[in-house]
Structure 1
Amino acid sequence: MLHRSGGIIEPNRLWKDIPGIALCALVASAATWMALLAGSAVIWGLILGLVLAAIWSPSAMFQTGISFAARQVMRIGVALLGFQISLATLQILDVTDLAALAVNVAIVLAAGWFLGPMLGITRELSLVTAASVAICGASAAAAVACVVMRNDSTNRDVACTIGAVSVISSVAVILYPLMVHMAGLGSTAGGIFLGGSIHEVAHAVAAGYSVNPETGDMATVAKLFRVALLAPTCIAVPFATMGRGRSQNPSLPLPPVFLIGFVVAAMLNASGLVPRELSQVTTPLSRFCLVTSMAAIGLTLPWRSFRAFGARPIVLLLILSVILIGLSLTYVKCHSS
């Protein structure tokens, strides 16, 4: 189960975790290789973990490491995501673009907050789903889940949400560039639309460069600005869930350690203190950590867990995706006219 606190790694326990971590990393490596052929590494990590668990039950020697990978490695991946943020994000987009992207994120989060319970989805899962659409797919879902969700179905809900949003984002790589052409958007407007509406970073970048290099550059920057909004979102959402019987402690929620790490990494990278070579290493490392954690979650979930997830969260994902498309397309059409 994912816990909200950042967690402290105890050195004397790390040796016990190594077999399980190594197993998850091995599955993640296979998933990364398969993603080179087709699909998303995140989805492959989850699928391979599920398949392996179906045919072989990991012994007690692996259990603590698998649990560590599902919790702490996921948080490490989210923290490393901060190294993708740079001042270039603020320099290429104008103030109006930044404001529009931020407003769109806020509207999608608010829509998820209100629509989720109407569909019979818990408020916490609604926020995780909305964040995955509004901000950055799997990374946002994992980060927000670490902050707001504390129950026995957390692993299942996170895994299913990440799997579904990754599939939707993969489809967007094909469909959204067609929308750019059909709407007659230029390079700047098209890049803002793609970066402002596609869920996963890699998919937004791929979609942008499939149009032309200028659109790709703008899509990358717009998407990374949405990633930068992960920190304020994770700080804000605990306040939205306060007073709902989750805790008897009336004190204000403190930012988890992984979120502090995200902010520190972003500030260091934006300050120019981080060598470019290090930033280039942390991007794939962050992704590999997320794939490793998904492999760990797959190793702990029975197939029946996905049947229990149901179709309603997927419906919410689709509704929120359509809302974000409408908001992004409306802005770029009005702003470019």
Structure 2
Amino acid sequence: MDAISKTERRKQSLSVVLSTYGPGLLVTAAVAMAAQFLSEHYGAPAMLMALLLGIAFHFLAEEGRCVAGIELSAKLVLRIGVALLGMRISVDLLIGLGGGTILLLVSAIVATILFGLVAARLLGRGWRLALLTSGAVAICGASAAMAIAAVLPRNEFSERNLIFTVLSVTVLSTLAMIGYPIVAEYLGLDGQATGIFFGGTIHDVAQVVGAGFSVSPEAGETATLVKLIRVTMLAPVVLIFSLVLRGVPQEGASIGKRAPLVPGFVLAFLVLAGFNSAGLVPVLASEVGMAISRWALLAGIVAVGMKTSLRRVLEVGGDAVALVVAETLFIAVFILAGMYYLGHS
């Protein structure tokens, strides 16, 4: 009887999981296949097609049975895809970036946060919004926004600021994914320089990957590595914010749950990259892993597109939008200037 009851409970649990996440996962998978079809038959980048098709189905992410599955695709499925990219990364690529590039990334993060504080003051916005938006722009978009919000002192605008920041960096990342490849081509950047530009400036991991691989495999791999170097800076930045702001009074508890020091998908990426560098990843395993990664990224970026609302981003006010746009342009100019100083072209 116990064995039968356990089996029934497992079946019921599986049924609940499938009914909760299944519709959204199937929708994102179907749209991803459509994007791949369009890419193969019309020569358009699959990532770009996935994003644009996802935006067209934005209504599915607002309410209904697909919401949970779309959310899962935009987070877990996407991160699995990024983690598996580690199978194509080696220490040789990291060495190829050089200490100068890594120093440039760290400098860009610090400079962008300081710029955000100054710009917010000039625009008449508070320092909380400045730290939230500049940290999100400088590090890793929505993930950074949620992590930083967890340590910022709470006030009556905390939730609104967090929602605005997540929406705005998502929209700007989407626009950057479409526009920055054009900028890179206009500037005549090679594959590695293009990857450094994308990875050092685009806010969210999904759009970095999409922009990079829409140009070339080299640009995609470099962009992913550069972006993940930025992501690892989330831990020290959040820690510094927490220590500096410890004495600032707040209203109620902090927003959300504290993020891990280093996201799990980053650790997985680094572990796989280490295995690949040591020659421990068989060719067949690498090919299978990259195939899974490609489809996971397509489905994930479809979900990101579905979650992107171009309308709600304007609800907070024009000065707040101007702040995030200014921070985005600042880090782009800073990275490009640093690249030219370091001789990347």
TM-score exceeds 0.5: yes
Give the TM-score taking structure 1 as reference length. 0.66
2:109 to 105, 108, 115: 105
Q: Secondary structure at the match of 1:84?
A: helix
Give the CA deviation at 1:84: 2.8
Of structures 1 and 2, the larger Rg is shown by: 2
Instruction: List gaps (5 residues or longer) in structure 1.
Output: 1-9, 182-186, 210-215
SS in 1 for 2:292: helix
Q: Is the 8 A contact 2:136 2:165 kept in 1?
A: no
Aligned to 2:185: 177
Instruction: Map Cα deviations across residues 199-258 of structure 1 (whole Å, 9 max, x no partner).
Output: 223324545x5xxxxxx84x4454233222244233234432564637648xx94508x9
Question: How many pairs were matched up?
Answer: 296
Change (3 A) 1:126 1:221: farther
- Matched with 1:269 is 273
Aligned residues: percent identity? 14
Contact persistence 1:40–1:166 (CA under 8 A): no
Q: Are residues 286 and 111 of structure 1, via their aligned partners in 2, closer, same or farther at CA, if it must alter by over 3 Å?
A: farther
Q: Is structure 2 residue 334 aligned with structure 1 residue 327?
A: yes
Given that 1:80 and 1:262 are in contact with CA atoms closer than 8 Å, whether structure 2 keeps it comes out as no
1:46-125 correspondence to structure 2 within 5 Å: 46-50=55-59, 58=64, 62=65, 65-70=66-71, 73-85=74-86, 86=89, 87-112=91-116, 115-116=119-120, 119=123
1:202 maps to 2:210: yes
Q: Which residue is equivalent to 2:343?
A: 336
Q: Residue 141 of structure 1 aligns to which amino acid in structure 2?
A: G
Q: Which residue of 1 aligns with 2:143?
A: 143
Cα RMSD (Å): 4.2
- The offset of 1:14, in angstroms, is 0.8
1:103, CA displacement in angstroms?
2.3
Number of the residue aligned with 2:233: 233
Shift of 1:276: 2.0
- Quote how far apart the aligned CAs of 1:159 are: 3.9
State whether residues 129 and 313 of structure 1, in contact with CA within 8 Å, keep that contact through their aligned partners in structure 2.
Answer: no
Given the superposition, is the C-alpha separation of residues 284 and 68 from structure 1 closer, same or farther in structure 2, using an over 3 Å criterion? Answer: closer
CA distance in 2, matches of 1:90, 1:99: 13
CA distance in 1 between partners of 2:321 and 2:166 (Å): 12
- Give the unaligned 5+ runs of structure 2: 1-12, 151-158, 203-207
Query: Judging changes above 3 Å, is the alpha-carbon distance between structure 1 residues 159 and 328 closer, same or farther for their aligned structure 2 residues?
Result: closer
Residues 26 and 20 of structure 1: is their aligned pair in 2 closer, same or farther, counting only changes over 3 Å? same
Residues in 2 aligned to 1:117 and 1:332: alpha-carbon distance in whole angstroms: 29
SS of the residue 2:260 aligns to: coil
Instruction: List per-residue Cα deviations over 1:19-59 (Å, max 9, x = no partner).
Output: 34434544555566678758563354134223x579xx63x
Aligned-partner Cα distance in 2 for 1:53–1:80: 21
Q: Which residue of 2 aligns with 1:282?
A: 293
- 2:141–2:170 CA contact under 8 A, matched in 1: yes
Q: In structure 2, what residue type is equivalent to 1:96?
A: G
Q: Does the 8 Å CA contact 2:135/2:145 hold for their aligned counterparts? A: no
How far did residue 285 of structure 1 move? 0.9
SS in 1 for 2:263: helix
Following superposition, the deviation at residue 288 of structure 1 comes to 1.9
Q: TM-score w.r.t. structure 2 length?
A: 0.65
Distance in 1, matches of 2:251 and 2:81, equals 29
